[in-house]
Amino acid sequence: MVDKNRLYEILNNFKNSKIAVVGDVMLDDYIFGSVDRISPEAPVPVINVKKESFVLGGAANVSNNLKSLTAQVFAFGVIGNDDNGKRFLNELNLKNINTDGIIADEKRPTAVKRRVIAQNQQLLRLDWEDKSPISSEIEDKILEKIKDKIAEIDAFILSDYDKGVLTESLSKKIIKLANENNKIITVDPKPKNHMNYVGSTSITPNRKEALECLNSDKFENEEDLINKMQQLKEKLSLENLLLTRSEEGMTLFENGEAETISTVAKEVYDVTGAGDTVISVFTLSKVAGAEWYEAAKIANTAAGIVVAKMGTATVTTDQIMDFYSELYHNE
């Protein structure tokens, strides 16, 4: 249990924490409208567009989460030399997120996911992206930018959406560099790339991702789950592993122990981006002075807030404090 004074102390330290986020950045484009007729040209609805909004997505949503929690954030990733890239940089700059580590690649488009929504229903999604691995030249540029900033950075978050930025080579070099400089490094992994993250401090998979990392179909029971997660932790030489379990909350595996934290979500409208919130709060809490179990408890509270919101959402320190107090006032 994290008492209220202790929680306040940790949350208050968020503003002094400096976190680097490396990964597949993208822009989420939402087009909202209404439908009242079918096109005469083809049997498709005609959308009368009312509003369009752009939101930081992918690894940039992790940066956005951290910034809403008052952390100092350094973003590292790749965009295209295009209008969407300019729009993306503008979004980061508006939020005062450091963009020195964002590299423009002439050969790639800025990753964009455009969603068309009418009557609260998503009708269509259009993706602009290049999933091929970034070139060794771009890798080197990112690594040099990281080396330039590493003295200022307290922790790294690697956010892998399998869009080509976190290559095996770059991932391993970042982890080596972080370990040499005694920096925390947490990873939201793609299962197919999980061996790239050997030697990280922690990973935060969900159940499906964890099973895929182990080439397994299911957990037979709680004992099997614990054994398999301990295997994965050892396989990747991690200090700890935080397994997110949807309605079952989350379990922290550390020092041979498995500690489960029950879910606190009162309503679940949308789990989009909840994993980004978990890794943001988990990492930031540790940097701000929490023990890993305390960090998991705070991250679980933040997840309970964010799943009650529509779309990729963020939380604030005040919301965490209020919700935590409401949940645990009798403890």
* Spatial strand order in the sheet of 45-58: 45-58, 25-38, 112-118, 121-128
C-alpha 157/C-alpha 65 separation (Å) is 12
Does the residue 13 lie in any domain?
yes
**Range 86-108 average pLDDT:** 97
Domain tally for the chain?
1
Helix and strand tally (H, E) in the chain?
10, 13
pLDDT band at 95, cuts 50/70/90? Answer: very high
In a domain, 41, yes or no: no
Would you say residue 269 has pLDDT above 90?
no
Phi/psi region, residue 246 (left: phi>0; alpha: psi -120 to 50; beta: rest), is left
Whether 44 maps to a domain, the answer reads no
Helix axes 59-68, 83-94, angle to 10 degrees: 20
Residue 43 lies in a domain: no
pLDDT at 246: 84
Q: Would you say residue 331 has pLDDT above 60?
A: no
Domain that includes residue 93, residue range: 4-34+49-328
Q: What is the CATH number of the domain that holds 321?
A: 3.40.1190.20
pLDDT at 304: 85
Model's pTM, two decimal places?
A: 0.94
Residue 148 belongs to some domain of the structure: yes
The tens digit of pLDDT for each residue in 288-315 reads 999 999 999 999 999 888 876 656 578 9
Tell whether 122 is covered by a domain.
Answer: yes
Pick the more confident residue, 204 or 266. 204
pLDDT tens readout for residues 104-159: 999 999 999 999 999 989 999 999 999 999 999 999 999 999 999 999 999 999 99
Does 240 reside within a domain?
A: yes
Cα separation, 8 vs 148, in Å, equals 33
Average pLDDT over residues 56-73: 96
Tokens representing residue 16 in the block: 């002094």
pLDDT score for 307: 77
User: Higher confidence at residue 327 or residue 100?
Assistant: 100
Is 314 inside a domain boundary?
yes
Lowest-confidence region among 159-173, 222-236, 317-331: 317-331
Checking if the pLDDT of 9 tops 50, the result is yes
The fraction of the chain above a pLDDT of 70, given in percent, is 95
pLDDT at 267: 61
Would the pLDDT of 239 be above 70?
yes
DSSP of 30-87, one letter per residue? Answer: EEEEEEEEE-SSSSSEEEEEEEEEEEEEEHHHHHHHHHHTT-EEEEEEEEESSHHHHH
Catalytic (active-site) positions: 276
Residue 312: the pLDDT is 59
